[in-house]
Every structure is written in C-alpha cells, then in structure tokens.
Structure 1
Amino acid sequence: MDTSTPAHPATALVTRRFDHPDVRLLNDLVQAEYRERYDGDGDATPLEPGMFDPPRGLFFVAYDAAGRPVGSGGWRAWDGEGARAEGYADGDAEIKRMFVVGEARGRGLSRLVLARLEETARAAGRVRMVLETGTAQPEAMGLYASSGYELVPDGQKFGLYRCSPSSRCYVKPL
C-alpha cells in the first residue's frame, strides 16, 4: 500500500513497508543517533516488516518537497499473552522509530507523524498508544508530554528496556 497525503507544507506522509529502502535508511540514521546518545548502544528491540503490516500496524515516511525521506514513525499492535508478558495490554498500539532528520527538526513534523499514527491506530481499533523512549532524548519526552501522553510509573513499564533506569514509558488512551 502506498498512500500519499499532504501533511505539512512541502511534506508528504507515505505509507511504506518496514523493509522499504527509505525506511531502512531512516532506521540506520536513528540507530546511529541512539548509539551517540546512549554511549554506543542502539535499540535492540526485535522488529520485523510484518509487524507493521495492516491491520496489525502501519509505518509512514515523511518526504520533503524534493522527495527526500526526512522522518518516520510506525505503530504495531499488541494483544494476547505475549503482550502481557512484555507489560503491554490488549488493544495497545506501540509507536516505533519516530524520527526526524536533524535538518528537518523544529518544524512540527514529529507532531504531524504522531497525529497520523494516533489516527490510524484508532481507526484500526486500537485503544491505547504506548511508547518507550529514554532520558537521553529530552525532545521526545517533551513531545509526548505536550501531546497528552502520561509517564508510566516504573513498576508498570513495558517493552525490552522496561528495567533500564534510563527508560521512560508513556501511554495515551485513544
């Protein structure tokens, strides 16, 4: 599925499969940023392309007016025993790989991607958005807090990094 819609002046959000070359490029860039911010560690969360295939997920790439990929974000569904074992709840949609390249930051693009993720997860029947970020990403924490996400107490965290002292988990009802 390849749907383009104008979302921001000179920007289009396009649905892409997680193994698309532009997604791989942006994923490599965000992993490099994670390694820089977290002393050499990238995000080891297992992600497979099928996790973002409708109706169980969706992934977007933001393109600038010149057609360059400048941002990304996706969500994947959580349900069942496997979800509960990781600290998720049935009906959760987990945000993954929210990222905007450095030269495109500060223009509201992350808010547009986040709004699209929420909108499409809600339309797919998801009841709550969840995400994990870290203390080395104060911009992300600010974005989520200002967008209505609530910080999860330590004993209720979810995901691969739920036991890490630098992990911050957020939730928002849809």
Structure 2
Amino acid sequence: MTDPHPHLSVVPYDHPDAHRLMRQLHAEQTSLYGYADDPADTPAAEFAPPRGLFLLAHIHPATEPVACGGWHLIDSRTAEIKRMYVQPEARGLSLGQHLLTRLEHDARHSGATRILLETGVSNTAALALYHSAGYSPVPSYRKGRNPSVNRALHKLL
C-alpha cells in the first residue's frame, strides 16, 4: 500500500540521487523536444538554503527517491521552481503536488511573494498540476526561449 504522504527530504542539489533523477528528467525532455537545458549547468549553490531548497520524494522513507524539485530566489521577492520531476512509474501518486506544496511553503517562509516556473507545452501533466495549483501564464522571463515550446507560469503567494 502506498503512503498518501510521501517522505520528502532536503538534499544538496549535487546529491547523487538528485543527479540520477535529473539525468532522467533531461533524457525525457530531450526525447520530447529534441533538446533540454542541462541540469549540470546549474550551480549547486543556487539551491542552497536560505535562498533555495532542493527536495527528493520517496514513496516510503527507506526506498530510493522517485521525484525531485527545487526552488531558488531570483530576486528578493521572486522564487523560481525548477527541476520538478516524477519518475513515470510513480506518476499518479500526487508526488508532484506534495513537492509543489512544500516548495511553495518554504519559498514563502523565506520571503518570496511570487513564484515563477517554466515547463514545456508537451508536459501536459505538469501543466495540469500547475494550473490546478493556481499558476497562470506569463510571458517568458528567460531570454531565448521558444514560445511554441516553453510555457512560463506564475503564482502570487
């Protein structure tokens, strides 16, 4: 039986389990879009508390993590959520929702009043999650993004 409340653990962005999940995320995005940002290009310090946080989600505490996500401040009041990923076999268990709720709570506690994030047009489950959590579309906040592929969203906290 699956625990309705997954175990969330705070880890450094360069933790081996985080790297494993982010390699899977990168491979999935590359297969969907033909390219993807390389998670290794992001400095680990970007997600270091108190200006950020990176989480792993475990279905049960003693099992390998099956999902991840993080936030970091991009200015004194705006946080960005990045690297949200749930392994395909763990989808449908509300792990993304639990991660998103915790990330928002932590960002708010750290002084953020707004959250930005970006996903791709083909990530329909992610888009549905973000819309159900109150996120709405905004123009891209990153230079060079393809508006036919990338979707930028925001939420006031």
Q: Same fold (TM over 0.5)?
A: yes
TM-superposed CA distance for 1:112, in Å, is: 0.3
24, 28, 32: which is aligned to 1:29?
24
53, 71, 75: which is aligned to 2:67?
71
Deviations 1:16-70 (A, max 9, x none): 000000000000010010011112x122474110000011100000012241110
CA distance in 2, matches of 1:49, 1:36: 25
Q: Is the 8 A contact 2:121 2:151 kept in 1?
A: yes
TM-superposed CA distance for 1:159, in Å, is: 2.0
Once the two structures are superposed, the pairs formed by residues 65-144 of structure 1 within 5 Å of their partners are: 65=60, 66-79=62-75, 90-144=76-130
Secondary structure of the residue that 1:125 maps to in structure 2? Answer: coil
Q: Is the 8 A contact 1:161 1:167 kept in 2?
A: no
Amino acid of the structure 2 residue aligned with 1:150: S
25, 40, 43: which is aligned to 2:37?
43
Deviating more after overlay: 164-173 vs 122-131: 164-173
Secondary structure of the residue that 1:69 maps to in structure 2? Answer: coil
Secondary structure of the residue that 1:168 maps to in structure 2? Answer: strand
TM-superposed CA distance for 1:164, in Å, is: 3.7
Q: Is the 8 A contact 1:132 1:159 kept in 2?
A: no
Secondary structure of the residue that 2:122 maps to in structure 1? Answer: coil
Amino acid of the structure 1 residue aligned with 2:154: V
Partner of 1:172: 155
From the superposition, tell whether residues 120 and 161 of structure 1 become closer, same or farther in structure 2 (CA, over 3 Å). farther
TM-superposed CA distance for 1:163, in Å, is: 4.2
**What TM-score do you get using the length of structure 2 for normalisation?**
0.91
Partner of 1:158: 141
53, 60, 67: which is aligned to 1:58?
53
Name the structure, 1 or 2, with higher relative contact order (CA <8 Å, separation 6+): 2
Unmatched 5+ stretches in structure 1: 1-7, 80-89
CA distance in 2, matches of 1:142, 1:112: 14
Q: Is the 8 A contact 2:6 2:98 kept in 1?
A: no
Deviations 1:64-115 (A, max 9, x none): 2241110000001012xxxxxxxxxx51110001010011100111000000
Q: Is the 8 A contact 1:59 1:74 kept in 2?
A: yes
TM-superposed CA distance for 1:11, in Å, is: 2.4
Say how many residue pairs are matched: 153
| Root mean square deviation, CA, Å | 1.6
